[in-house]
Structure 1
Amino acid sequence: MASTLHSQPLALEDRSLAHLLYGLMACFPLFLVPAALSLLINVYQPQQDSNSTMAVHLRWQRWSIVGLFAVILVGYLASPQWLSTTLYVAGAVWFGGRVFKGWLSLIEGRKI
């Protein structure tokens, strides 16, 4: 009887898309094109259960990319060069940390 309980495989969520998007996000220093492509793919994904692991990671990715673009825009509009450079560097470090934290959580199967 115990063998029948464990014989059915557990339904696992396919996380390959999230891994692909984190990979694209990790390439953000390349003219921001991979991060923008990741955002486009992310936005056009069908809505999932809002509490699923994939939905949480997709939302984390969207807000990370939007935050990076907001910091870059503010840095572009800032007139002193030292302020622009500081914002760019701070935004890149912040975004890199979010990608790292999110990807590790996804690998471990945890929500953020």
Structure 2
Amino acid sequence: MASTLHSQPLALEDKSLAHLLYGLMACFPLFLIPVALSLFINLYQPPNHSSRFIVQHLRWQRWSIIGFFLVLSAGYLVNIPWLSTTLYLAASLWFIGRIFKGWLSLIEGSNI
């Protein structure tokens, strides 16, 4: 019985956590709280995921959120309004791209 549990195909593994975290990340235009919650959940997940595929997506999400917050912080600290706005827009567009790329690859079952 134990050998059949480990031989499940990739398509049958539980991807619900990764979908939940991508959903929270996609709420960023409304509030940054869901993104911070997504990072918190991601960081405090036990590292016992059997699938390297899910671990790769969790890492992708973690670094996407950290990079987004770093660029937003830089935009906040810059005193020049046009540069600050440019950093905000660049961070938002980059983050949207990372969400789409990661979520689509999760749905397709391919690596990032």
TM-score range, shorter chain: 0.7 to 0.9
Judge conservation of contact 1:50–1:56 (CA < 8 Å) in 2. no
Identity of counterpart residues, as a percentage?
66
d(CA) in 2 for partners of 1:32 and 1:78?
20
* 1:31-75 residue CA offsets vs partner (Å, 9 max, x unmatched): 211100000000010114697110000000000000000000000
Q: Once superposed, which parts of structure 1, at least 4 consecutive aligned residues long, lie more than 4 Å away?
A: none
1:88 aligns with 88
Task: Structure 1: state its 5+ residue gaps.
Answer: 1-8
Q: Aligned to 1:20, what secondary structure does the other structure show? A: helix
Rg larger in structure: 1
Task: Structure 2: state its 5+ residue gaps.
Answer: 1-6
2:8 aligns with 10
My pick for the range that moved more, 12-21 or 41-50, is 41-50
1:6 aligns with none
d(CA) in 2 for partners of 1:15 and 1:49?
11
TM-score, L = length of structure 2: 0.87
